Amino acid sequence: MLELRRVTKAFAGVPAIDAVDLTIHDDEYLTLLGPSGSGKSTLLRLIAGLEVCDSGTISLDGEDITYSPTHLRNLGFVQQSYGLFPHMNVFDNVAFGLRHRTHNPIEDSSEVDRRVKAMLDLVGLSELGQRMVGQLSGGQKQRVSLARTLVTEPKVCLLDEPLGALDANLRERMTVELRKIREALGVTFMHVTGNEDEALAMGDRMIVLDHGRLLQVAPPDMVYREPDNVAVARFVNAYNILEGRVSDGAFLQDDARLPAAGAPDGKGYYAIRHDAATIHHGSEPPEGAVALPATFVTEEFLGSRFFYFLRLDDGTVFEVERHLSREDPIHLEAGTRCMVSWDPRNALHFGADGNRIGAPAMKGAA
Amino acid sequence: MADQTVPAVGTAGPARRQSGFFARHSTWLLLAPGIVWMVLFLVVPLGMMVYVSFWTQTTFSISSDLTLQSWITFFSSETYFGALLRTLKIWIIVLALTFVIGYPTALFIGQFVRDKTVQTILLVTCVIPFWTSFLIRVLAWRPMLGLEGAINIVLLRLGIISEPIEVLLFTELSVVIGMVQIYVVFMVGPIAFMLARIDESLIEAARDLGASTWTIFRKIIFPLSLPGVVVGAIFVSVMVLGEFATASALSGRKVNLLGNIIVTQVGSLKWAFAAVIGVVLTVIMAIVIGGLLRVVNLRREL
């Protein structure tokens, strides 16, 4: 169990990580989502010991490791750039940690041989042990880098945007494989990514980070369905977010009054998922639905679904997602006037501070 | 689409045929200037040197009758063969010292200084002595090393020694000191360049895998800087093996290297004998460079 208590780090006075509390359990897949500059790489480097925190403590299984040097932490760090040793072949790269670590190096070469081969088998590179790393493809380098870290049996394996440099096809294969490898070894993975789909798909739990603060720590379906904060709703990239004012239990959007029971008066945000809204052109919105007039802009075809882009009368872009398994596509000319509607029970309300109305207060120790 | 491409091929055809000669022989045409240059200024002179080394040399004249006499004289004479051994000895010592002094300097510039601007400034600083002439740099050691030179005066005044140290000037030691000072920068440059190219993430990865600083140096940093060491060693070797000026200026002509002998032989118009030494030097350099290149595959590393 890895615990962070009020971990803080600033670069030249600018806070990068701001009083972060986090508990990482054994044997779980954790994804860390944040936009670039949110401090996610810094958080990873603090845990790995490649940066030293200004204040706060980091402990591993009850032992304080805040100031212990990187090479004595027994945490694995898989770098985005892989960091493979160019003068060694794949086998020697993977064997490096076992042979040369300060603590408990393995002298017996047959033991090194056995462990490295087993790890190369696991990541599917058993044939490539004698290749120099310069002769590998991006995906293979990624696996070597992963194998090199995992063979040392770290308590927690930190992955810095591990799929960032791979092409889309490989990326999908590696997502499945990363989960498989992790389950085979039972080691905790902490996977940093800027891609919301990746974060949602891979994690048992998901952390959303922005401006050096944790916004939400929860299972991905919770983060997706009930984002604690309007910023989280933005990062998962699945919500239309309207900005406006609440008065008398109604959210004011232009002339329309959207029901917002329970929301306090004042500035607020109103969010509706892309796939919870429908477009009406030549048909009436159903009974009880909320509807707003809009202008059709364009559509985007994604194979199994369509994205429609509309513009509300105040200029806000409104997206509607339509799954072809549920409905047939509609085709509208750009500039067509239509209505968008949704069930008001699906809407989320956020207060002036960005926190969701009705969300439990954010507790650091998740 | 297809209608448009057909006439396009038709018009391109004749144009291509006109430039056919140049297109077909472009590789050789581009190589020609280089080949001509190398033949005129490398192959022919080398051949001449080998040829002249077999000429017959008498005191006042030289004839093109072939003989082994100059070669026999070289290898049987204590003076000349001794100069060969002395050259090799000084080369080994200077090479070792430039490495021992140059590597830590390069390590500091290439690895400990992470700021590219500061790196450049430090490397330029290393080259500043080259702004003065070679001869001045060599001769400047005389007032430093002499019996009443700066070093002796300072040591005497400090009371560390009571008699001036005599071996400092006009000995092999002074030649070695002078050469190391002049050539060490050729070791620092290539090594610092290779060290600065090492990606920080490699070192972080090694540290994260549990390696100590010393292990990281042995297993990662040093092997990756080896091409720089080899290039630096080639620079230093080529220059030291052919050296004559430092030796004559700082040894009072007591230390004769192969280069010095060439100078005196040419001075007394003994071309055949000078050619023998030229061939010997060329062979030694070829062996040294060949050997150094075997240490590391430069083509792969650079």
Q: What is the pLDDT of residue B6?
A: 43
Give the dihedral sign, CA A224/A226/A232/A233.
positive
Same domain, A309 and A193: no
- Closest-CA distance, A300 to chain B, in angstroms, reads 29
Q: Residue A208 and residue A193: Cα distance in Å, rounded?
A: 10
Q: Residue A335 and residue A293: Cα distance in Å, rounded?
A: 12
Same domain, A190 and A97: yes
Same domain, A254 and A338: yes
- Residue B72, number of CB atoms within 10 A of its CB: 11
Give A321's strand partners: A307
A147 touches chain B (CB under 8 A): no
Q: Residue B214 and residue B220: Cα distance in Å, rounded?
A: 10
What's the rounded mean pLDDT across residues B237-262?
A: 89
Cβ-Cβ contacts under 8 Å, A76 against chain B = 208
ipTM above 0.85? no
B202 touches chain A (CB under 8 A): yes
Cβ-Cβ contacts under 8 Å, B211 against chain A = 71, 96-97, 100-102
Same domain, A325 and A245: yes
- Closest-CA distance, B118 to chain A, in angstroms, reads 20
Mutation pick from A75, A102, A133 vs chain B, by most beta carbons of B within 10 Å, is A102
- Give the residue from B171, B180, B174, B175 showing the smallest Cα distance to B254: B171
Q: What is the pLDDT of residue B18?
A: 55
Q: Is B50 among the domain residues?
A: no
Q: Residue A171 and residue A174: Cα distance in Å, rounded?
A: 5
- Give the residue from A149, A173, A153 showing the smallest Cα distance to A163: A173
User: At residue B5, does pLDDT exceed 60?
Assistant: no
Mean confidence (pLDDT) of chain A: 89
DSSP E strands, chain A: 2-11, 14-24, 29-33, 55-60, 63-64, 76-78, 156-160, 188-193, 205-210, 213-218, 239-247, 250-253, 256-259, 266-273, 277-280, 290-301, 305-312, 317-323, 337-342, 348-350
Size of interface A-B (CB pairs under 8 A): 72
- Closest-CA distance, A158 to chain B, in angstroms, reads 11
Q: Which residues contact A330 (CB under 8 A, 6 or more apart)?
A: A279, A281, A308, A322
Same domain, A106 and A242: no
Distance of CA A44 to the CA centre of its chain: 14
Contact B208 A48 (CB under 8 A): yes
- Residue A192, number of CB atoms within 10 A of its CB: 26
What torsion do the CA atoms of B230, B233, B237, B238 make, to the nearest 10 degrees? 60
Same domain, A166 and A288: no
State the residue for tokens 């998901």.
A206
Same domain, A35 and A154: yes
In chain B, DSSP finds a helix count (H) and a strand count (E) of 18, 2
- Give the residue from A332, A341, A292, A291 showing the smallest Cα distance to A316: A292
Q: What is the pLDDT of residue A361?
A: 58
Indicate the pTM of the whole model: 0.81
- Give residue A99's domain range: 2-226
% of chain A surpassing 70 pLDDT? 98
CA contacts within 13 A on the Cβ side of A264? 11
Residue in chain A nearest B201 by alpha carbon: A83
Please report, for the domain that includes residue A135, its CATH number: 3.40.50.300
Cβ-Cβ contacts under 8 Å, A97 against chain B = 209-211
- Closest-CA distance, B119 to chain A, in angstroms, reads 22
- Closest-CA distance, A142 to chain B, in angstroms, reads 13
Q: Is B124 among the domain residues?
A: yes
Residue in chain A nearest B215 by alpha carbon: A100
What's the rounded mean pLDDT across residues A227-252?
A: 89
Residue ending a domain, choose from A195, A226, A257: A226
**Number of domains observed in the structure of chain A:** 2
Q: What is the pLDDT of residue A285?
A: 85
Q: Residue B69 and residue B210: Cα distance in Å, rounded?
A: 65
Q: What is the pLDDT of residue B106?
A: 95
Q: Residue B39 and residue A266: Cα distance in Å, rounded?
A: 88
User: At residue B68, does pLDDT exceed 70?
Assistant: yes
Same domain, A121 and A166: yes
Question: DSSP code of A229?
Answer: B
Please report, for the domain that includes residue B247, its CATH number: 1.10.3720.10
Q: Is A33 among the domain residues?
A: yes
Q: Is A232 among the domain residues?
A: no
- Closest-CA distance, A245 to chain B, in angstroms, reads 49
Q: Is B115 among the domain residues?
A: yes
User: At residue B2, does pLDDT exceed 50?
Assistant: no
Mutation pick from B209, B213, B222, B299 vs chain A, by most beta carbons of A within 10 Å, is B209
Cβ-Cβ contacts under 8 Å, A48 against chain B = 208
- Give residue B173's domain range: 70-301
Same domain, A268 and A137: no
Q: What is the pLDDT of residue B44?
A: 96
State the residue for tokens 């889309």.
A168
**Number of domains observed in the structure of chain B:** 1
- In three-state secondary structure terms, A341 is strand
Q: Is A360 among the domain residues?
A: no
Q: Residue B271 and residue B178: Cα distance in Å, rounded?
A: 29
**A174, A125 contact by CB (below 8 A):** no
Cβ-Cβ contacts under 8 Å, B212 against chain A = 71, 102
Residue in chain B nearest A153 by alpha carbon: B209
DSSP A36-100: TTSSHHHHHHHHHTSS--SEEEEEETTEE-TTS-GGGS--EEE-TT----TTSBHHHHHHHHHHH
Q: Which residue has the higher pLDDT, B253 or A81?
A: A81
Q: What is the pLDDT of residue A366?
A: 39
Burial of B64 (0-12, 13-18, 19+ CB in 10 A): exposed
Q: Is A257 among the domain residues?
A: yes
The H or E element that residue B62 is part of is: strand B62-63
Q: What is the pLDDT of residue A364?
A: 41
**A20, A71 contact by CB (below 8 A):** no
Q: Residue A257 and residue A300: Cα distance in Å, rounded?
A: 30
**A179, A19 contact by CB (below 8 A):** no
Same domain, A194 and A156: yes
Same domain, A104 and A250: no
Contact B204 A152 (CB under 8 A): no
Contact B199 A148 (CB under 8 A): no
Q: Residue B279 and residue B285: Cα distance in Å, rounded?
A: 10
CA contacts within 13 A on the Cβ side of B278? 21
Cβ-Cβ contacts under 8 Å, B224 against chain A = 86-87
Cβ-Cβ contacts under 8 Å, A148 against chain B = 205, 209
Same domain, A114 and A183: yes
Contact B210 A101 (CB under 8 A): yes
Question: DSSP code of A129?
Answer: T
> If contacts are CB pairs under 8 Å, which of residues 205-224 in chain B contact chain A?
205-212, 215, 219-220, 223-224
Please write the tens of the pLDDT for every residue from A330-355.
Answer: 888 889 999 999 998 888 999 888 88
- Closest-CA distance, A88 to chain B, in angstroms, reads 9
Contact A81 B215 (CB under 8 A): no
Residue in chain A nearest B205 by alpha carbon: A83
CA contacts within 13 A on the Cβ side of A115? 23
Q: Look at strands A156-160 and A188-193 and give their pairing.
A: parallel
Residue ending a domain, choose from A156, A191, A226: A226
- Candidates B202, B210, B224; nearest CB to A97: B210
Q: Distances from the Cα of A51 to the Cαs of A201, B71, B146, in angstroms?
A: 29, 67, 53
**A160, A146 contact by CB (below 8 A):** no
Q: Burial code of B246-264, b = ≥16 C-beta within 10 A, e = fewer?
A: bbbbbbeeebbbbbbbbbe
What's the rounded mean pLDDT across residues B176-199?
A: 93
DSSP E strands, A148-238: 156-160, 188-193, 205-210, 213-218
Q: Is B143 among the domain residues?
A: yes
Q: Residue A181 and residue A146: Cα distance in Å, rounded?
A: 10
Q: Residue A58 and residue A77: Cα distance in Å, rounded?
A: 16
Residue ending a domain, choose from A192, A226, A260: A226
Please write the tens of the pLDDT for every residue from A164-189.
Answer: 878 888 888 888 888 999 999 999 99
Please report, for the domain that includes residue A307, its CATH number: 2.40.50.140
- Closest-CA distance, B202 to chain A, in angstroms, reads 5
Contact B204 A81 (CB under 8 A): no
B198 touches chain A (CB under 8 A): no
User: At residue B15, does pLDDT exceed 70?
Assistant: no
> If contacts are CB pairs under 8 Å, which of residues 96-125 in chain A contact chain B?
96-97, 100-103, 105
- Closest-CA distance, B301 to chain A, in angstroms, reads 9
User: At residue B12, does pLDDT exceed 60?
Assistant: no
Please write the tens of the pLDDT for every residue from B115-151.
Answer: 889 999 998 988 888 888 888 888 889 898 888 889 9
Quote the tokens at residue B249: 């200026």
Q: Is A81 among the domain residues?
A: yes
User: At residue A249, does pLDDT exceed 60?
Assistant: yes
Q: Distances from the Cα of A23 to the Cαs of A47, A216, A218, in angstroms?
A: 12, 13, 12
Q: Residue B254 and residue B251: Cα distance in Å, rounded?
A: 5
